[in-house]
Amino acid sequence: MSELSQRAAALRALHRPGDPLILPNAWDPGSARDVVAAGFPAVATSSGAVAVALGHADNEATPVDEMFAAVARIAAAVSVPVTADLERGYGLRPAELVDRLLATGAVGCNIEDSDPRTRELSDVEEQADLLAAIRAAAREAGVDLVLNARVDVHLRAYGPPEGRLAEAVRRARRYRAAGADCVYPIVLADPVAIRALVAEVDAPVNVLARPGAPGLAELAALGVARISFGSGLYAAARARTVEMLAAIRAGDDVFPNGEETG
């Protein structure tokens, strides 16, 4: 078994309902190393955080070469498995997407089911075909990468509110059948709805940690298998930087006990 295959198998094994894989998403090699130093067994990238750190907007505004180069730098910086947020694939054909992902050293990816530019939800069968093609290309390449299928029903406020959970379940089941390892109903935060989706979908479920969502222990109790932080850590780091800059501009001492950085 190749090193990439071993890493993919290790990443897949970390998806345990009730004992979730926690992924404080990274945006550069330094933040990835910090994640590993804190004791986390895998690293996930955030497309939004990577994009902004590179000077671009989210929603596939980052040139594809720059995004893959950023993922490669992150994967090279750590010894744990890396999974990359690839939005909806940047218009690449599945075989090229897989080849370029594996060339970075990453062994997993997120693929979302809405158009990043128009915010329109994709046809469920079209999305299932895309996921199946990615799965087939990965197996052809000899690495059974970990495929996380994002379900954007709640993010895009698709259809009447009372029907969104059922639609999310329908899509999650179809994506699982197409070869997804994990399903990601992003921004779903209601504990009752999370529990229902976990019960109705035969797949590990990924939930976004964010204000208003259940805490880590409650998500574990709900049967969640993976918890992502998206661009939350990057946003918090930038907010803290803004606070420090304002303090410096005001002439305040921002280093306690006289400590400074070189």
pLDDT tens profile 4-24:
999 999 999 999 999 999 999
Q: Is the pTM of this model over 0.85?
A: yes
Whether residue 260 is predicted with pLDDT greater than 80 in this model: the reply is no
pLDDT tens profile 90-148:
999 999 999 999 999 999 999 999 999 899 999 999 999 999 999 999 999 999 999 99
Query: Is the CATH number 3.20.20.60 carried by domain 3-230?
Result: yes
The whole-number average pLDDT for the span 141-165 is 97
Tell me 121's DSSP state: B
Other beta carbons less than 10 A from residue 73's beta carbon: 14
Q: How much is the pLDDT for 255?
A: 84
Write down the domain spans for the chain.
Answer: 3-230
**Is residue 131 a contact partner of residue 175, using CB atoms and an 8 Å limit?**
yes
The whole-number average pLDDT for the span 32-45 is 98
DSSP-assigned states of every residue in 145-205? -EEEEEE-TTTTT-S-GGGHHHHHHHHHHHHHHHT-SEEEETT---HHHHHHHHHHSSS-B
